[in-house]
Amino acid sequence: MVAVGIASAIGVMVDPRIITGARAWLKPLKFAISTAVYSLTLAWVFGYLMDWPRMRRVVGWTTAIVFVLEVAIIDAQAWRGMRSHFNISTRVNMTLFFIMGGAILLQTLVSIAAAVALWRQRFADKALGWALRFGMTLTILGAFIGPMMTRPTAAQIAHARAGERMTTVGSHSVGGVDGGPGLPLTGWSVEHGDLRVPHFIGLHALQALALVALALRRWHGSENARVRLMMAAAAGYALVFAVLLLEALKGHSIVSGMPL
């Protein structure tokens, strides 16, 4: 994924093509970085789950295979100048999109086994244990926002009922269409709701809360105090995730729709 990320970064700089309002290789770059970070984190977490060899084998191999498959399809579609997500304009595009969706859903379901193991595992560092438990749980919840994006929108359903051929199914936008003005790098919409925001925040809860737990190791407070702070951090992160999801579903942009 690091190698793919480097190649994608070069593609962003040299390939002028635009797909859904963004550079063709920006999505491959973002997915390469995200999957690399997640994979390294999961491998590190497995170091605390040595009593679960079968779980590590199944979750590890499933995650590796699915990530390679997903990123390969995203890169292939970028090479072809096609949208990788929500694209059912041809039989090939529809097949690739459904393969991606089915594969990542399988990986998400399998990763529940890792969450179960974390909730049952005892940790010498209790604050870190709670960080990994809550982090993996929120990561799985964030992943399940993906299937929410694949539901046909009201406009797509209306067009289909009118007899028009559907070329797109689903959207990450709420209250608008994909491809409008967005934040730099992420592309998150600045005009309407964008489910990619809570999706991203949820997916990376595992890394964020783990970093908080590791930072707390440098604080010379008692173990009980560190656990309480970790619980507060987890609750705060979960609240942010929930608010971002609700605001996106209401059609509010991350920059203009948040309540003051």
- pLDDT tens profile 213-245: 999 988 877 889 999 999 999 999 999 999 999
- pLDDT, averaged across the chain: 93
From 207, 201, 212, select the one nearest 254 (Cα to Cα). Answer: 201
Q: At 42, list the tokens.
A: 């999961």
How does DSSP assign 165-196, residue by residue?
PP-B---SEESS-TTSSB-TTT--BSSSEETH
Across 151-172, average pLDDT = 89
188, amino acid identity:
W
Q: At 55, list the tokens.
A: 């779980």
Q: How confident is the model at residue 142 (pLDDT cuts 50, 70, 90)?
A: very high
Quote the pTM value: 0.91
pLDDT at residue 144 tops 60: yes
Q: At 8, list the tokens.
A: 């994608």
For the chain, domain boundaries: 123-260
Tell me the C-alpha distance between 142 and 234, whole Å: 14
